[in-house]
Structures are given as structure tokens and as C-alpha cells.
Structure 1
């Protein structure tokens, strides 16, 4: 039926994924969010090393105050413990953090952890059907920054 995938195959795929460019709206969107007074952090299921290398390579590292990894709590997203750990690590109540993701399952995890959440609807991504709807929904980060500015969230 299918091919066997071993560890070296998976590492090859991960290496290719680490080389993907960022979407063209990301730098402007992050800059707009920073200009509006938002503190930015990542929360990923990847290792801190992998996300740090990607942020350095893409030139996005300067936008972020923290690079957080689920590996620190040994519970991958969408486990609510991971979002609670991130809030505690940042010293901010979960309800004061806006989780932004392009994955419905990630938005659902954040919502269940008590965080408002925004879904970036790239590639026809839609909200997870068995979870509450996202607090915000936008086609890209620039549009999300505009929506947050209009709503005067900060």
C-alpha cells in the first residue's frame, strides 16, 4: 500500500520544512502588531532550537520577546497545559493573551485554555468544527493587525 518512512526520511522532510520562506504578509503584519503595542511570542511544538534557527534565518527574531516550545512542558499543543504553561512563563493571564494560528486545532486548544484566539485563514483553513469559533478570523497577519486596531483591543 504505502512506503515505510524511517527516521532519516522524516529528518529530510523536516530539513525541507525548515527552509520554507515566510508568507509575504508576515513581516509587515508583525511590525504592525509591534507598533500597536503588542508583545509577541511564539508557541510551537518544535524545539526552541528549531524555531530560533528559523526566526534567525528569516530575519523575524527581532519581533519576538520570547520563543516558547511545548517541549518545555512535554505536552504538545493542543493540550491546554501547554497554553497555561506559556501564560505562566510570560507572566500574563491566559485571558490576556491572543493566540494567533493558521490551524483550527491550535485555535481550539487556546480557546479551551481560556485564551482568545485568532485564526489566519490561509489555504482555506477553517475553525475546528467541534470547538467554539475563533475570537478573530483574518486572511493574513496584516488584516488581523488592522482588525485589532479597529477594535481597539489595546
Structure 2
């Protein structure tokens, strides 16, 4: 039986943090705005490919290479920096703060679990005035593996100080929920990005149209 989590880990990029403002930066360097999705998907693919072969590179380095590839190798250093430096101004989705406040009111700590860099994530939380609502930023840098291998999620549970089956992973990506589920975590999927959960993945324990709904449903699980 799935039990109510004692802590909740949130994916960051696209789950908490909106990439939408980067679209204009793609257009600034002569790429179509739609290249944003292609670039981020390629970044994830390349990071996962490194992990699958036992290798690791940090988010910024992988993202830079993916952007050059998407541009047909036409983006120079200045163009690449222009796009990726936009991470310093990315906002939180509007459902993030109320979801985190609901967890805090219930006495359930929240952490971040991200493929991104720790300093970028902490700056994002500070900018969005969310720092006081998040106990810890956990990054894949700490284990040298991009999500979704089980070692990443089990490391997050160890850092959060709870058994794996009492940590929830909340994400806007079905593949992330799948990885967490296979590692023994509780999972919550928010549907505002993908719209429909992928049939090939292990189903999440709860779903919701926004993060508040996901959190509310996690909190209604049996707490025994």
C-alpha cells in the first residue's frame, strides 16, 4: 500500500521553473522559438546517454553542446551564453508557492531534486522567494548520474532522512516519475506540461492538473 510521504522532492526544470522566457532568446540568436523544446529534449537525451554509458557531465556543459547541435553548429560562444544565461531570470510557475505552502502547513518538508546545477537552483529559489519553503537542494552532481537511475532517487531519500517509500517525487515528466517509482518512491505527476501520462511508464501514485492538486492528493494518502 502506498503511504503518505514524510518528505516531498520536486523536480525543478519545467516542474517548478518555467523555461518559456528562453524562447525569445532563441529568436535573438536567429533560431525559431520552437527550438526551445527541441533543445531541452536533446539536453535531457544527451545527459541520460552519458549516464547510460557510465559517464557524467554537468548540466551547463551538456546544454551548451545540445544548443550548438540544434543550431546546426552555427551558434557561437556569445549566442550560446546569451541563451543559457537566461536561466538567471527564469520564473517559478504560479502553482509552485501555494503547493509548497500547503506542504509546510502540513509539516511535510520539501526538497528539490534536479539535473541542474545547485547554484542555479538556489538562485532560482531566492529570486522566486521560495527559499524558506525548501529544506535542501539535491542535484545529480552529488552522485554523478542524471535522472532517472534509481541511485539518484535513493540518494535523495537518504539526504532527506526518510526511507525511499516515504519520499515522494513530484515532476511534470512521466519518465522522471517512472524512474522514481522503480526506485521505490511515491510519485506525483502534474499534467500541465505533457497533458497525458505516457502509457509505457509505471503509473504515478497521484496526478493533478497543477502542483497544488498533486500535493493535496499526496497528503490524503494513508499516513500509517
Quickly say closer, same or farther: Cα 1:69–1:2, change in 2 above 3 A. Answer: closer
1:145 maps onto 2:215 in alignment: yes
Contact 1:104 1:125 in 2 (8 A): no
Larger Rg, first or second structure (1 or 2) = 2
TM-score, structure 2 normalization: 0.63
Residue number in structure 1 paired with 2:158: 88
Q: CA deviation at 1:103?
A: 0.9
Kindly indicate whether the alpha-carbon contact (under 8 Å) linking 2:189 and 2:214 is maintained by their aligned counterparts in 1: no
Could you tell me how far 1:10 is from its partner in structure 2? 3.8
**CA RMSD between the two structures:** 2.1
1:132 aligns with 2:199: no
In structure 2, C-alpha distance between the alignment counterparts of 1:122 and 1:41, rounded to whole Å: 21
Which digits, 9 at most, give the CA deviation of each residue in 1:3-34, with x for residues without a partner? 21455544332222442221111111110111
Over 3 Å counting, the alpha-carbon distance change for 1:80 and 1:21 in structure 2 is same
- Aligned match of 1:72 in 112, 128, 142? 142
Q: How far, CA to CA, are the matches of 2:77 and 2:186 in structure 1? A: 37
How far apart in 2 are the matches of 1:70 and 1:78? Answer: 10
User: Would the aligned equivalents of 2:187 and 2:205 in 1 still touch at CA under 8 Å?
Assistant: yes
The offset of 1:152, in angstroms, is 5.2
Given candidates 104, 108, 116, the residue that maps to 1:34 is: 104
Which residue number in structure 1 is paired with residue 72 of structure 2? 3
Structure 1, gaps ≥5 residues long: none
Matched, 1:107 2:177: yes
C-alpha displacement at 1:109, in angstroms?
Answer: 0.9
Partner-residue secondary structure (3-state), 1:42? strand
| Deviations 1:81-126, CA, capped at 9 Å, x for gaps | 1111111222211111010011111111101111011001113343
Contact 1:119 1:136 in 2 (8 A): yes
What does 1:36-51 correspond to in 2, within 5 Å?
36-51=106-121
Aligned to 1:118: 188
